[in-house]
């Protein structure tokens, strides 16, 4: 059974050893996705739930609404992402002289784990018609990183300062679209 408190303690110990050790902890957890759902609960809405936050470690439980997309962004710290329901498509981007351009992609399904280096730029899509849930573990304070983060406009690919309130708004809007579409009048 997935024990949230034990998982947090295991991540706290692993972050001292680095990203490969954190990956092992996340991989072990999502190898039994039904236990993670039992331990964290099924998502009631799209959003970002903080499980743990300190200067050197943040653990988040993400719930992506169906067909939701998050703009290209960076983290300025390593990340380990483990999927425990649904699917997540990542597009990886590289900087050009004036903007960014797509450089690759990776699809993650239930039980898959991805590691992202501190300088990776990626965008995320939940391409399916149901919620996708994932544990994200960051090697720093996701909400207050030591270096400024960026996001890029979906359409123009203009670089902007990262804005957590804008990101939360994207989750709220995606949730509202999902609820409207799922309602009898939608």
| Arithmetic mean of pLDDT, 119-123 | 97
Tell me the mean pLDDT in the region 118-136.
96
pLDDT number for residue 170: 92
Short-list 121, 129, 142, CA closest to 85? 129
Name the nearest CA neighbour of 73 among 115, 121, 144: 121
Q: How confident is the model at residue 44 (pLDDT cuts 50, 70, 90)?
A: confident
pLDDT digits (tens, 9 = 90+) for 135-182: 999 999 999 998 999 999 999 999 999 999 999 999 999 999 877 765
Domain boundaries, the chain: 4-180
How far, CA to CA in Å, does 118 sit from each of 58, 76, 110, 122?
A: 14, 5, 24, 11
The pLDDT of residue 186 is 52
**Structure-block tokens of residue 106:** 């990776």
Contact, 62 vs 133, CB < 8 A?
Answer: yes
Partnered with residue 58 across adjacent β-strands are 53, 138
DSSP 59: E
Binned at pLDDT 50, 70 and 90, residue 1 comes out as confident
Q: For residues 139 and 79, give the distance between their C-alpha atoms in angstroms, rounded to a whole number.
A: 6
CA-wise closest residue to 29 among 6, 45, 52, 49 = 6
The CATH H-level superfamily of 4-180 is Jelly Rolls (2.60.120.10)
Note the pLDDT of residue 182: 58
Rounded to 10 degrees, what is the CA torsion of 54, 39, 48, 175? -170
Q: Write b or e for each residue in 144-159: b if 16 or more Cβ atoms lie within 10 A of its Cβ, otherwise e.
A: ebeeeebbbeeeebeb
The DSSP annotation for 104-136 comes to: EEEEEETT-EEEE-TT-EEEEE--SSS-EEEEE
pLDDT tens by residue, 84-110: 999 999 999 999 999 999 999 999 999
54-62 average pLDDT score: 97
Task: Say how far apart CA 62 and CA 171 lie, in whole Å.
Answer: 10
């Amino acid at each position: 059974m997935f024990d949230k408190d034990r998982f947090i303690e295991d991540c706290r110990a692993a972050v001292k050893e680095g990203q490969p050790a954190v990956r092992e902890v996340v991989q072990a957890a999502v190898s039994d996705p039904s236990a993670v759902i039992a331990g964290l609960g099924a998502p009631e809405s799209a959003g970002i739930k903080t499980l743990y936050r300190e200067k050197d470690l943040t653990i988040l439980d993400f719930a992506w609404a169906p067909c939701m997309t998050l703009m290209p962004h960076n983290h300025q710290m390593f990340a380990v992402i483990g999927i425990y329901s649904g699917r997540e498509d990542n597009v990886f981007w590289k900087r050009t002289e004036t903007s960014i351009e797509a450089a690759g992609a990776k699809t993650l399904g239930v039980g898959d784990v991805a590691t992202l280096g501190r300088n990776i730029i990626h965008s995320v899509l939940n391409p399916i018609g149901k919620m996708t849930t994932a544990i994200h573990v960051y090697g720093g304070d996701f909400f207050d990183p030591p270096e400024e983060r960026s996001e890029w406009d979906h359409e123009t690919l203009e670089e902007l300062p990262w804005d957590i309130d804008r990101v939360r708004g994207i989750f709220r809007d995606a949730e509202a679209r999902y609820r409207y579409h799922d309602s009898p009048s939608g």
